Amino acid sequence: MKHVEHFAAQLDILKQQGNLRRFTSNVQQGRMIRIHDHEMLNLASNDYLGLAANIELREQFFDETPNAQRWMSSASSRLLTGNFPEYEQFESSLSQAFHGRAALVFNSGYHMNIGILPALADSKTLILADKLIHASMIDGIRLSTAKFVRYRHNDLAHLTQLLHKYHTDDAFERIIVVTESIFSMDGDETDLAELVRIKKQFEKVMLYVDEAHGIGVRGEQGLGCAEQYQVIDEIDFLVGALGKAMASIGGYLICHPVIRDYLINTMRPLIFSTAQPPICMAWSNFILQQVLQLKTARQHLHSISQTLQQAVQTKGFACPSTSQIVPVIIGDSSKTVEKAKALQHAGFYIMPVRPPTVPQHSSRLRISLTAQVRHTDLDQLIQLL
Ligand SMILES: *Cc1c(COP(=O)(O)O)cnc(C)c1O
């Protein structure tokens, strides 16, 4: 009992701080979500293009996929017998979309980020990372033997300063700069064109860019911010997650073929974990073909995002967002939770985000727009903010 009491006391502390987390059961249909029989507009999902919620799309996929191909388990790592044709088909589609560069997929974005960095970075590597990168990259860096220095969030001048400082240090053979394109909590974005320009001034630098929130929603074909800013070929490790706008599960890396081969030989979560079921690969491939065509949905998402960003600013909140992720930064955790409850009561499912997901005293409502949201929905929401 003594041990359980210890953990119960820890939970009590979280509760007092307004930081206790719990699962909530829910039922979803289209753009709506129902919790305890209360129906709300879903503004907490990462299904940015509304494809995960699209039932016709699912029907089409199953109609096109005969039962013989609906493998629900790969039963093994890809290096043993898990490398089903669906894997090679999806990677080949990715490769084709991304200018013929090599593609490698992973079980999740989290696996990807905790696996690639430790495989690549040794003690002669310096990692320079944006202060606000996702926990999965932090964990990846922690698992590596590299030296790790952070630069101020989205401050490329600070990054340049650090590069000048460390580039001449013989202790380092390589410097990997790690960032996101669109950041998951502030919804702001890195100037990728400028980042690439900086990289070109420093021989030792390689770029690692996570497009978890950019894939699907940016660029003519939805290939992300790298497509939008025409730098697909300049980013050494272009990674992203498939569980958001891509309405599936997994992570992908676009890289040089040598890097791909190297990771197949060294990346532990790839080697020691059972590969995703082939049906998931087939679905990811099916969705990719759709996403390449969804220009209108992307334009709509962009339009409602701009409307909401401007409204949040007009209401007097700081709003760093330039994307579909629109935070309303309140600060205090308990107040944020109360505000979220009030909005939920009014029919808008918006989640509070609290430390340690975001820095202390920056608790916020994280509004996550999807292409299913209409301008008229926003009018109501904006009044309530
Ligand atoms: C969601 C997310 C991940 C993790 O991806 P999963 O597929 O959900 O494991 C990685 N990086 C960023 C920036 C994310 O937002």
Q: How far is CA 52 from the centre of its chain?
A: 16
Over residues 107-128, the mean pLDDT reads: 97
Sign of dihedral through CA atoms 140, 103, 215, 182?
positive
Q: What does the pLDDT average to over 351-377?
A: 93
Give me the mean pLDDT over the 92-105 stretch: 98
> Is residue 18 scored above 90 in pLDDT?
no
Reported as a single tens digit per residue, the pLDDT across 271-300 is 999 999 999 999 999 999 999 999 999 999
113 lines ligand 1 (CB under 6 A): yes
Residue 170: per-residue pLDDT:
96
- pLDDT band of 357, cuts 50, 70, 90: confident
Place of tokens 């409307």: 307
Mean pLDDT for the chain overall = 96
How many A from CA of 133 to the centre of ligand 1? 10
Q: Is 207 helix (H, G, I), strand (E, B) or coil?
A: strand
Tell me what pLDDT residue 358 has: 87
pLDDT at 85: 97
The answer to whether residue 1 scores a pLDDT higher than 80 is: no
pLDDT tier, 100 (very low <50, low <70, confident <90, very high otherwise): very high
Q: How far is the CA of 115 from the centre of ligand 1 (A)?
A: 13
Alpha carbon distance 297, 48 (integer Å): 9
C-alpha dist (Å) from residue 20 to 2, 213, 352, 354, 355: 21, 26, 11, 9, 10
Mutate to test the pocket of ligand 1, among 45, 48, 106, 113 (most ligand atoms within 8 A of CB): 113
Please give the distance, rounded to the nearest whole angstrom, from the Cα atom of residue 345 to the centre of ligand 1: 29
Rounded to an integer, the average pLDDT of 339-368 is 93
Q: What confidence tens digit (pLDDT) does each residue in 136-163 have?
A: 999 999 999 999 999 999 999 999 999 9
Radius of gyration of the chain (CA): 21
Site to substitute for ligand 1 among 106, 183, 184, most atoms within 8 A of C-beta:
184
What's the distance, Cα to Cα, between the start and end of the chain in Å? 46
Res 114 pLDDT > 80: yes
Instruction: Provide the pLDDT for residue 306.
Output: 98
pLDDT higher than 80, residue 200: yes
**Residue 359 banded pLDDT, cuts 50, 70, 90:** confident
DSSP track, 134-159: -HHHHHHHHHS-SEEEEE-TT-HHHH
The CA distance from 58 to 292, in Å, is: 17
241 CB under 6 A from ligand 1?
A: yes
Verify whether ligand 1 is closer than 6 Å to residue 210 (CB atom). yes
- Of the candidates 174, 172, 177, which has an alpha carbon nearest to the alpha carbon of residue 191? 177
Q: How far is CA 21 from the centre of its chain?
A: 21
With a pLDDT cut of 70, the percent of the chain lying above it is: 100
Q: The whole model's pTM is what?
A: 0.96
pLDDT higher than 90, residue 242: yes
Q: Residue 256's pLDDT band (boundaries 50, 70, 90)? A: very high
The predicted-structure confidence for 50-72, as pLDDT tens digits, reads as follows: 999 999 999 999 999 999 999 99
CA distances from 168 to 157, 162, 180 (A): 18, 11, 26
What's the confidence (pLDDT) of residue 355?
Answer: 84
Q: Is 273 exposed, middle or buried (0-12, 13-18, 19+ CB in 10 A)?
A: middle
Q: Do 134 and 280 form a contact (C-beta atoms < 8 A)?
A: no
- Given this model, what pLDDT does residue 20 score? 83
pLDDT of residue 356: 82
Residue 17, pLDDT score? 80
298-328 confidence digits (pLDDT tens)? 999 999 999 999 999 999 998 899 999 999 9
Q: Is the CB of 252 under 6 A from ligand 1?
A: no
pLDDT value at residue 333: 87
pLDDT value at position 81?
95
Q: Strand, coil or helix: what is 273?
A: coil
Mutate to test the pocket of ligand 1, among 46, 114, 134, 273 (most ligand atoms within 8 A of CB): 134
Q: Residue 375 Cα, ligand 1 centroid: separation in angstroms?
A: 28
Q: Is the pLDDT of residue 194 over 80?
A: yes
